[in-house]
Structure 1
Amino acid sequence: MSIDVIVIGSGIGGLTAAALLARYGKRVLVCESHAIAGGAAHSFKRRGFEFDSGPSFYCGLGNQRPSLNPLRQVLDALGESLQVVPYDPMGHYHFPDGTFPVYSDASRYREAVAQITPTGARELEQFEKRL
């Protein structure tokens, strides 16, 4: 068997490159020195507990198209899908005098900003219009 491309490393970048090359007809060999493929995106077990050591939070993987998320674009090019679990708020900023929810829905996010600073909400709206 002849090989067109050798990819060194099976991290997110290496696997992405290899998958796209294979998708477009190249014969690819991925070489990895670690016992588990995936680079930092894997898990490990200690004392009966399993820990994720890689990324665990991704935005922009839902069904909205076109997506600006590079991972979503690669998955689309490969014809792959993921089970996506949406959640909102996506997280919270913690401050000495309270927390601030970070919503993925832009209108909910603006409402949360307006509750803290109406002036800031107007400035955010002006900024978004300039974008």
Structure 2
Amino acid sequence: MLAAREAHEAEKAAWEMLEAELEDVKSRAARDAERLKLEGREEFLKSSEFDTLLGKKAGGFFKNGFLGCVAQWRANGYSEDEHPALFLNVQQAIAEMPDEEDAQEEGEDEEEEEGAVGSEATPPSSPLP
């Protein structure tokens, strides 16, 4: 009977050690999972896939918000005949937007003009040896 009791206590102690080890492994796994999750999130935020999804979501919010505003104006008696607002036509507004290339060319032309005026007033400084 004494031997059975000692065997039972030894088994109980072994079981408690296994439970403690299991808890330790679980906590390490949870820490590692959290670390990997954060690393994965940072990589995703830097990816082009995130940029694409963000652009789609932003476009959806703009479209729904814009159309909601137009619907509210019309529901509250806004008269487009009396007060034409060309910005309410999204397709027309997009068509009238300047292309990025045109905007860049205009910016370069302005820089060249400013550079020409500035170069006449002060000569460029020579680089130090």
TM-score, normalized by the shorter chain, greater than 0.5:
no
Q: Which has the higher contact order (CA 8 A, sep 6+)?
A: 1
TM-score normalised by the shorter chain: which range applies?
Answer: under 0.3
State which structure, 1 or 2, has the greater radius of gyration over its C-alpha atoms. Answer: 2
Q: Could you say which structure has the higher helix fraction?
A: 2
Normalising by structure 2, what TM-score? Answer: 0.23
